Structure 1
């Protein structure tokens, strides 16, 4: 079977950038970098080297093997950037043919994209999706392909953008537009109006507030119920613990019982088996490697997209991600990481949900409700986010002690800010819709299967 990429063409593009940089031809460097993205490259090392070149250019640093090696020391493969860049610079004697190299790289990228679209369409048909939904999803995916003439246009007239927007409104009216990923919680879905692709949604809260629970529940809802592939980077929590939480959440089995199986009854064992069956073959992937950088996240996400498709990413959590290169301050480093995740969302045309910590200022405020300005480490997190959700549970109140949790949407670029109330069921590691009155312990126990019931038959 023929390989769906060209190492020679990818090397040609990168070598051309290095040659233009060595000749101090800033205009040519801009032209080449402007026609490509790291997502056009098949090899992760090549994509990472391209990103290092872009960073050099953004910082007005001349591009050569030494400077890119200073910006980024190692590649995803572990090889030294400076050695790899020097090798490519020597392989390509001139930048004269860069357009031909770039066109070849982009053509192979489009071919891979088309094959992925065909695979996704086939999967939708096998899952019983309506034919109009399959066609609409495929058309939307095809519309994302860029021109191949080597002169990609990044601008259009306003009336053309208005026409695209009007077409989307019409598709929504006819019910054929692709649906945004949902959260699985009715009131929160009404508030957020869909987790938007190409954008970053921040879920923030104090330690123990339930932000991880909410993010995992969103990914679980989309993967288990909707059968859309999601990828979770669990930097703090091991994969086995996520597995236990999923059993508790889907099956309504107490986490305490799962920790102490001697207390499990026959119905608990049955619910655990049912939970595993519900999630069987569900495309929810977890990477629990505790050492992550923007480059490793991008490489893993691109691998997952190639092998399984990808509809969304969760990063738990942002400040545990290490910078590819240490900044002058932690705030600057986190800001660069935030920018990299936003770029990833745009490149892959998927939503990225990133978790963030809050400082303690909100606890000193009357009402104790957090604000966007309470985000720790960097104001860039707030600036880059399209939507910010604050998980607020006042443990000093009776309502908070009973699991009553307010989700405050303090920023949103596509909907009005506001809040909603959800019920946190900590013993099952999940949130549930709030019915309007605080349930008793007996009522919570009796309704433990209500959430899992939504997933009944999802794998059929």
Structure 2
């Protein structure tokens, strides 16, 4: 291994700083791990220091030797610790030593990752995947230059910002969250908040994709935001065609078949004008990994800014390995939650539900019905379940319940919306509340839809 990939002097400097000034241990151990050491003797000595500190034993040459007499090579601990202490004249430069140790450790990891990437490249892996692996491998380099960063904050230092935000929300000068475009849903979730992972779950055909796309279109077309939509089911052309149908109130079937009326064209022209101005970006590549999604999203945020990210849907994201499916989906979920925090925007993640709810008397889904991994429910800040009972008369006529089964900053509840299937969109429900008789019969809203079809 190249000499430039490690520094024995810096490793000695870190250990010597602790021996000279033991009260530096907490700060140093928060920056440097045992695995960051290249020299096995120094790594072993650092581990002994950690063990002593954990046991409440003062750290010095004698206590270290008492804790472990010999290092892996057989060299007495007291001898190696003594050499370290004598080679470091001062603890003043400990930050520089720690930075070098951490930096060289990351560089070694990058070299190792490069070897893996080179092997994958020769196996004819797609170029986009090779690039994504390289970006993921070097991501830790972004965190190296953190000496000036504050690791914790006093409450009083944060209060001014928080109170200013509360005041601005009270005076309606800033929104409490990004609007979904559906007033009843906004009242429940109080908007979609930056850094939140919003899971929209539903059975096949329930309308979860309609809701996800409609929210993204609202942010980009009505609120002048920037949106990026990943669809692993539909093509980019299908996504935009749905946008024309939804925004222009044009029958989707007519757009697909070309059987259009003369009065459809002005509406198409109007929708095209809106979408042409919108900063809505789409990706329809199949087999996307989280690393690739993260790479594209960060690239889009740097170039365009980003207000919302949509992923349709989580169970179609390709896992990095072939291990247990539940564990892999759980890792994907946590990575998407971390991405929301990193980008500081709402990330709307669509998810399939299992069919457990269909066996219940009321057929209403719960957050625990999300398929493949319970980790998705745990990671989510908001869970919205799209429920349309097609066996009921109201469901056949498009009445859909949006069940907010989890929300960290508001109350759980539900609201009714009307699904306009031909326009692939939801609108606010304007029907009358169900009568007590209809509720008891298990057929709410039946009187309003007698004789109608969707």
Q: Which residue of 1 aligns with 2:364?
A: 369
Distance 1:380 1:199 in 2: 15
Q: Which residue of 2 aligns with 1:293?
A: 289
Q: Which residue of 2 aligns with 1:315?
A: 311
Distance 1:425 1:441, change over 3 A: farther
Decide whether the 8 Å contact of 1:230 with 1:310 is kept in 2: yes
Q: Which of 379, 382, 388 is the matching residue for 1:387?
A: 382
Decide whether the 8 Å contact of 2:397 with 2:452 is kept in 1: no
Q: Cα deviations across residues 50-83 of structure 1 (Å, max 9, x unaligned)? A: 7xx9xxxxxxxx957447866996785726969x
Q: Which of 242, 264, 267 is the matching residue for 1:268?
A: 264
Q: Cα deviations across residues 257-288 of structure 1 (Å, max 9, x unaligned)? A: 112213x1110122111111122220010011
Distance 1:73 1:341, change over 3 A: farther
Distance 1:225 1:401, change over 3 A: same
Q: Which residue of 2 aligns with 1:436?
A: 431
Q: Which residue of 1 aligns with 2:57?
A: none
Distance 1:261 1:76, change over 3 A: closer
1:384 shift after superposition = 0.5
SS at match of 1:266: coil
Decide whether the 8 Å contact of 1:373 with 1:379 is kept in 2: yes
Is residue 2:237 matched to residue 1:240?
yes
Distance 2:217 2:451 in 1: 27
Query: Which residues of structure 1 form unaligned runs of 5+?
Result: 1-10, 37-48, 54-61, 89-97, 104-148, 446-460
1:436 shift after superposition = 2.0
SS at match of 2:277: coil
Decide whether the 8 Å contact of 1:69 with 1:81 is kept in 2: no
Distance 2:334 2:252 in 1: 36
Q: Cα deviations across residues 206-225 of structure 1 (Å, max 9, x unaligned)? A: 00000000000000001011
Decide whether the 8 Å contact of 2:202 with 2:386 is kept in 1: yes
Q: Which residue of 1 aligns with 2:130?
A: 78
Decide whether the 8 Å contact of 2:397 with 2:453 is kept in 1: no
Decide whether the 8 Å contact of 1:230 with 1:284 is kept in 2: yes
Q: Which of 300, 304, 310 is the matching residue for 1:304?
A: 300
Is residue 2:331 matched to residue 1:336?
yes
Moved more, 278-287 or 168-177: 168-177
Q: Cα deviations across residues 296-346 of structure 1 (Å, max 9, x unaligned)? A: 1111111111221111100000011112x2153011111111111111111
Is residue 2:152 matched to residue 1:155?
yes
1:431 shift after superposition = 0.4
Q: How many residues are paired up?
A: 349
Q: Which residue of 2 aligns with 1:457?
A: none
Q: Cα deviations across residues 348-369 of structure 1 (Å, max 9, x unaligned)? A: 1111000001001000012000
TM-score by length of 1: 0.67
Correspondence 1:97-116 to 2 at 5 A? 102-103=144-145
Distance 1:433 1:22 in 2: 62
SS at match of 1:176: coil
Distance 1:281 1:157 in 2: 44
Q: Which of 270, 278, 281 is the matching residue for 1:282?
A: 278
Q: Which residue of 1 aligns with 2:201?
A: 204
Distance 2:256 2:166 in 1: 49
Q: Cα deviations across residues 130-156 of structure 1 (Å, max 9, x unaligned)? A: xxxxxxxxxxxxxxxxxxx61422322
Q: Cα deviations across residues 111-166 of structure 1 (Å, max 9, x unaligned)? A: xxxxxxxxxxxxxxxxxxxxxxxxxxxxxxxxxxxxxx614223222343444322
Q: Bigger radius of gyration, 1 or 2?
A: 2
1:168 shift after superposition = 1.5
Distance 2:355 2:243 in 1: 30
1:20 shift after superposition = 3.6
Q: Cα deviations across residues 184-237 of structure 1 (Å, max 9, x unaligned)? A: 011011111111111100000000000000000000001011110000001111
Q: Which residue of 2 aligns with 1:357?
A: 352
Q: Which residue of 1 aligns with 2:75?
A: none
SS at match of 1:237: coil
Query: Which residues of structure 2 form unaligned runs of 5+?
Result: 12-31, 48-94, 122-126, 433-444
Distance 1:23 1:352 in 2: 43
For the aligned residue pairs, the C-alpha RMSD in angstroms reads: 3.9
